[in-house]
């Protein structure tokens, strides 16, 4: 298999992406208990500023996916993301499970998220990530009809690809994986224990190195309320340092990766 061609002769790509779910991660499950919800606010109040500082020091621009409810509840946080040169993508309204919605509900929520993100950032969202990556059989076609450029939900490739054409438009898919997500390892649910950061970081580094060798894209997916804890922020710092030190790796926002991939296929 011929290695993908990335900009300026790079052999692989890497994206640091963040889902700023805040309170909605638990609201979507019908939870209103104050202490539980406060875990989400930690991501906005403590995690996000430190993440933005880390990215700024490393001169890395990232993609943030933010539910509409969070955009309206925490406009200053969203403004700080935009001020840092980062992309804001659509991520539902209150982190609802898209696969449980009927067609009218799914489209209504998508339209609302586009309107809210556009109004608060001054830029129409170009990318879409479903809450928990749970899309319906209609989602990709719906995104195409509403003018999105890319999706970041599927787990079937190591490189981006184009979805089938819908209404004259083909979405780029920038694939993801649970192994490059912080939630399976660090999100406490009562049934799942929290893992120590060290072994998780080792796994992420190995996966990054492996994807880089194949010429693919390592799409890390983090949550400020999870990765923003001090011990895990140290993991993020190590990952950023490894990506920046690895020769031939292009670190980019997902909209930039989407644009590049569309030009080469």
- Each domain of the chain, given as residue ranges in start order, spans 7-264
Compute the distance between CA of residue 139 and CA of residue 51 in angstroms, rounded to an integer.
30
pLDDT digit string, tens, across residues 128-139: 999 999 999 999
Among 32-46, 154-168, 188-202, the least confident range: 188-202
Rg of the chain taking only CA atoms, in angstroms? 17
Instruction: Please report the pLDDT score of residue 265 as a whole number.
Output: 65
Burial category of 144 from C-beta neighbours within 10 Å (exposed 0-12, middle 13-18, buried 19 and up): buried
Alpha helix (H) residue ranges in 122-265: 139-145, 183-186, 197-214, 224-227, 230-245, 254-264
Please tell me the chain's helix, strand, coil percentages from 3-state DSSP, rounded to the nearest 5: 50, 15, 35
How far apart (Å, rounded) are the C-alpha atoms in residues 220 and 222? 6
Which stretch of DSSP H or E encloses residue 151? strand 150-151
What's the farthest any 2 CA atoms get from each other in the chain? 53
CATH of 7-264, one of 2.60.40.10, 3.40.50.800, 3.20.20.370, 3.30.930.10: 3.20.20.370
The whole-number average pLDDT for the span 66-89 is 98
Q: Could you tell me which of 251, 224, 201 has the C-alpha nearest to residue 91? A: 224
Return the percentage of the chain with pLDDT > 90, whole number. Answer: 90
Q: Is the pLDDT of residue 149 over 90?
A: yes
Confidence (pLDDT) at 167:
87
Average pLDDT, the chain: 95
Is residue 217 within a helix (H) or strand (E), and if so which, with residue range? strand 217-222
Two tokens, residue 238: 């190590």
Q: What is the pTM of this model?
A: 0.96
Contact criterion met (CB below 8 Å) for 42 and 247: no
């Amino acid at each position: 298999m011929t290695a993908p061609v990335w900009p300026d002769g790079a052999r692989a790509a890497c994206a640091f992406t963040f889902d700023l779910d805040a309170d909605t991660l638990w609201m979507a499950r019908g939870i209103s208990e104050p202490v539980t919800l406060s875990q989400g606010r930690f991501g906005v109040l403590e995690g996000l500023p430190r993440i933005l500082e880390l990215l700024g020091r490393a001169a890395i621009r990232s993609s943030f996916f933010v539910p509409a409810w969070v955009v309206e509840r925490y406009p200053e946080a969203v403004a700080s993301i935009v001020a840092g040169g980062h992309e804001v993508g659509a991520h539902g309204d209150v982190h609802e499970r898209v696969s449980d919605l009927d067609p009218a509900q799914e489209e209504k929520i998508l339209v609302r998220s586009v309107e809210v993100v556009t109004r608060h950032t001054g830029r129409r969202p170009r990318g879409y990530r479903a809450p928990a990556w749970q899309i319906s059989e209609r989602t990709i076609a719906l995104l195409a009809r509403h003018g999105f450029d890319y999706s970041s939900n599927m787990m079937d490739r190591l490189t981006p690809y184009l979805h089938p054409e819908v209404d004259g438009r083909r979405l780029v898919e920038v694939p993801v994986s649970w192994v490059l997500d912080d939630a399976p390892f660090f999100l406490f649910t009562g049934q799942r224990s929290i893992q120590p950061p060290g072994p998780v970081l080792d796994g992420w580094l190995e996966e990054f190195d492996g994807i880089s060798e194949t010429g693919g894209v390592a799409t890390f997916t983090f949550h400020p309320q999870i990765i923003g804890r001090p011990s895990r922020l140290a993991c993020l710092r190590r990952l950023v340092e490894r990506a920046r030190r690895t020769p031939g790796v292009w670190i980019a926002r997902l909209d930039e990766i989407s644009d590049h991939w569309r030009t080469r296929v």
